[in-house]
Structure 1
C-alpha cells in the first residue's frame, strides 16, 4: 500500500489502552507510547495520541509536542460511548495500537476494518501474564456469567477482562505489522524487534552534577542505590532491602522514585524496612535525569515470572543513558540489554545482591567504567534514534519516506 507523493509523511494515530492518571498518563513521556511518538517525530511524521481514560472525569493530559486526546469513562460503564468517540476521532492514515488489549488494539482494528487503513500493533507486555497466563480459565457457569455481566460493576463489563484478553490474542495476526521489545514476546507473537529507546540528549550525564543533585534531594550523606519507578512485588525491591539488612552499612540507602499508584505496597515496604528507604515523589520526565544523577548505583532486581520475562525495564535505560553502574537480575532480556556493561545476579537472591554491592562499592572505578560503556551501548542500540532507524523500513511499507 502506498500513498500519493504529497502524502509522503502521513499522519500516524497512536491508540493507547488507558490514558488515565493511573495508566499511561501517570508516567507521561517516560513510557512506551510516548517513546514511539518521539521516534516517529524523529522521522518527521505528524503524530496524535488517543485513548480512553478509565476512572477519569475529564481529559487532563496536555503535551505541547503533539495532540493527546483522552476519552474519560468509568471502568465498568461508559466505555462504549467513549470508545465510539475515540474510533471516530482517529485521523491518522496509519494506526499504531499500543498493547494487545480490546481498549487499544480492539478499537484500532474496528477502525481498520471500516477504513482499510494500515494497522501496526505494538506488544509491550503479555497481558495474560498478570492473570496466570495460559492457565487462566473462565468459569462459564450461567450464574457466574450473570453476576459478571449484569451486576453494576460486573467483571465482564470491563473491556480488558482476561477473557477478552484471551480472545483478542487470536486476532493479533490481523495487524499489518507487529512490533515487540523482547525475545519472549517475539517467540509468542512474532513481529519485529523494536527495543525501548531513551532520549539520550535529555538523559546526558554531562549536563548534571551528581554531588549537586545529591545535595538538592537531601542525599549527600549516603551511598545511593536508586530504583526509579513504581515498586511491585515482582520487581524485587524487597530483595535489595534484605541485602541492605545483611550488609548493615549505615551509609547505604535505597531511594525509590515515584512509588506505587496501585495499592499500599510502598507503606508495607516502609513499615518493614523504612530505615533503609528514602522516598522521592513522582517527577516529570524532564526532572528524572537530575534525580538519577544523584544515584551511585541503579538497581533493577526483577524476580523471575512470566510478567517480568515479557518486560523491557525502562529503569535499565535510565541508568545506562546516565552512565551509572547498574545491578540487575538475569531475567528476560536484561542480560542481552546490558551486555558486559553492568552487574548481573540471579533473581530472588538477596545474598548475591549483597555480595555484588560490596564488589561495586569496593571497586567503584571499575563500576564507573562499566557505566560509561553502558551509555555508549544505550546510544547505539537503545536510543530514540535507534528506534527511529528500525521504524523507518516498517513505515516504508505504507508510505514513501
Structure 2
C-alpha cells in the first residue's frame, strides 16, 4: 500500500500541550502507513526552543511558512500551493489559526481537511472570541472537526454554535507515550524526596496555577489529617502562584504535612512512590496528561469531576471523582482511598488497561489513520 502523505499544520511551534503532543504522535505514526510532514503556519521566530528540542528528539524537523496575520491575502493561495507541491493526500490542522487558513486552502487544492481543537473554551473577550469563532466556522466547513474530550466539544458548541453540535464534530482522544509509565516498587529515596515517611503519601502533580485547584487541597488537608495524622500532601510542580500557595500552607499551620517538592523530571518514579495521585482542578481542564500517566502507572487517583477528566477517569472503576471546589468532598474521597488499600489496588488494573487502549499515542495514531483513509476514499 502506498503511504498516505499528510500535512500536519499547527499555528506555530510555541510551548504548549498541543505542540509537544506532536512528538509522540510522530513516533507512533511510524507504525502506520501514514507519512507526516509537520509545518508551522506562523514565522519561525515564534517557535520555542524547548518545543523544537522535544520534536527534534522525536526525529521531527518541522518548517515554518511565515504566514503571520489572519488578514494576509497571500496566505490561503500560498498554503494551497504548499498542499499541491507536497503531494499531500490530506491536511490535518491543530489549533485555530491553522484551521482558518487550511480549510479554504485544502478545498482549493481538492484535498480533505481535518481540524483538531485542543482546549475547553469559554466566551473570551474581544478579539480572542472572534478569532475562535472564525476558526469554528471554517473548520465546520471542512471534512471533520475533532475535539480531544467531550467537554471540549460541548464548550465549543455552547460558545460558538448556540449549543448545537455539528454533524461532522467528533471526539478523538489524544494519546501519549505510555511506555515509561508502569507499576513498580517505589524507590525509597524518591519517596523521601517527596516528603513521604511511614504514613501515606498523596501526590498532587500540577502547574502552580489557579485552575488546578491547589488551594482546595490545602483547605481539605486538615480534614484528611484528622483521620490520617501522618499523611503527607506532596505538591509536585511550580509556577507563578507558588508564593501564594506557600503562604496559605503556612497560615493553615500545615508546613509539616504539605510539602513543596518542585518540578521533577522523574515522573514515572514519582507516581510509583505515591499511594494516591490527586488532581483537584476547578475549571479549564481538557485532557490532563498527568492523569493518563498516573493511570498507566496503576495508581489510585482522586480527581475533580470537571472538563475532560471524566473522559479519563471512570468513577469507581479507574479512579474516584469528587465535585470541584469542595474541600469536604475532596477530603472524603482521599480518606476513602487511604482507608482501603484493597480499593486502591482494584482501581489500578482497569486504569492501566484504559490508559493503553484509549490514551496511548499508538491508539491515537491508528485511529487517525482510519479516519484519514475514510475521508480520502470519500473524496475520491
- The question of a shared fold, defined as TM-score above 0.5 by the shorter chain, is answered with yes
Decide whether aligned partners of structure 1 residues 83 and 265 sit closer, same or farther in structure 2, where only a CA change above 3 A counts: farther
Distance 1:19 1:389 in 2: 24
Confirm or deny that 1:342 pairs with 2:335: no
Residue number in structure 2 paired with 1:280: 262
Confirm or deny that 1:166 pairs with 2:126: no
Residue number in structure 2 paired with 1:387: 364
The runs of at least 4 aligned residues of structure 1 exceeding 6 Å deviation read: 76-86
1:43 aligned residue (32, 35, 39): 32
Confirm or deny that 1:108 pairs with 2:118: no
1:142-157 matched pairs, under 5 angstroms = none
Length, aligned pairs only:
346
How many Å apart are 1:349 and its aligned residue? 0.8
- Please give the per-residue CA displacement for 1:120-158, whole angstroms capped at 9, x wherever unaligned: 11122244x1xx35xx5x4xxxxxxxxxxxxxxxxx6xx
TM-score (norm 1): 0.73
Residue number in structure 1 paired with 2:162: none
For residue 292 of structure 1, give the secondary structure of its aligned residue in structure 2: helix
Decide whether aligned partners of structure 1 residues 23 and 56 sit closer, same or farther in structure 2, where only a CA change above 3 A counts: farther
Distance 1:70 1:356 in 2: 47
- Please give the per-residue CA displacement for 1:66-112, whole angstroms capped at 9, x wherever unaligned: 42426498xx999969979994766443221112x12x212333542
1:2-401 matched pairs, under 5 angstroms = 8-21=2-15, 24=18, 28=20, 31=21, 33-51=22-40, 52=42, 56=46, 61-62=52-53, 63-69=56-62, 71=64, 87=79, 91=86, 92-99=88-95, 101-102=96-97, 104-109=98-103, 111-127=105-121, 129=122, 132=123, 136=125, 138=126, 161-187=128-154, 188=157, 189-190=165-166, 191-205=169-183, 208-212=184-188, 214-215=190-191, 217-221=193-197, 223-248=200-225, 249-257=229-237, 259-260=238-239, 264-273=240-249, 275=255, 276-281=258-263, 283=265, 287-303=266-282, 305=283, 307-308=284-285, 311-339=286-314, 340-398=317-375
How many Å apart are 1:234 and its aligned residue? 2.1
Residue number in structure 1 paired with 2:160: none
Indicate conservation of the 8 Å contact 1:299/1:326, yes or no: yes
Distance 2:299 2:99 in 1: 36
Distance 1:265 1:179 in 2: 33
Decide whether aligned partners of structure 1 residues 244 and 193 sit closer, same or farther in structure 2, where only a CA change above 3 A counts: same
How many Å apart are 1:323 and its aligned residue? 0.3
Indicate conservation of the 8 Å contact 1:213/1:294, yes or no: no
In the alignment, structure 2 segments of 5+ residues that lack a partner are: 158-164
In the alignment, structure 1 segments of 5+ residues that lack a partner are: 139-155
How many Å apart are 1:45 and its aligned residue? 2.0
Indicate conservation of the 8 Å contact 2:103/2:138, yes or no: no
> What is the Cα-based RMSD across aligned positions, in Å?
3.6
Indicate conservation of the 8 Å contact 1:10/1:399, yes or no: no
How many Å apart are 1:169 and its aligned residue? 1.7
Decide whether aligned partners of structure 1 residues 176 and 84 sit closer, same or farther in structure 2, where only a CA change above 3 A counts: closer
Indicate conservation of the 8 Å contact 2:213/2:325, yes or no: yes
Indicate conservation of the 8 Å contact 1:204/1:322, yes or no: yes
Decide whether aligned partners of structure 1 residues 216 and 48 sit closer, same or farther in structure 2, where only a CA change above 3 A counts: farther
- Once structures 1 and 2 are overlaid, which stretch shifts more, 47-56 or 341-350? 47-56
- Please give the per-residue CA displacement for 1:346-374, whole angstroms capped at 9, x wherever unaligned: 11111111122222112123212212221
TM-score (norm 2): 0.77
Indicate conservation of the 8 Å contact 1:20/1:54, yes or no: no
Distance 1:282 1:79 in 2: 42
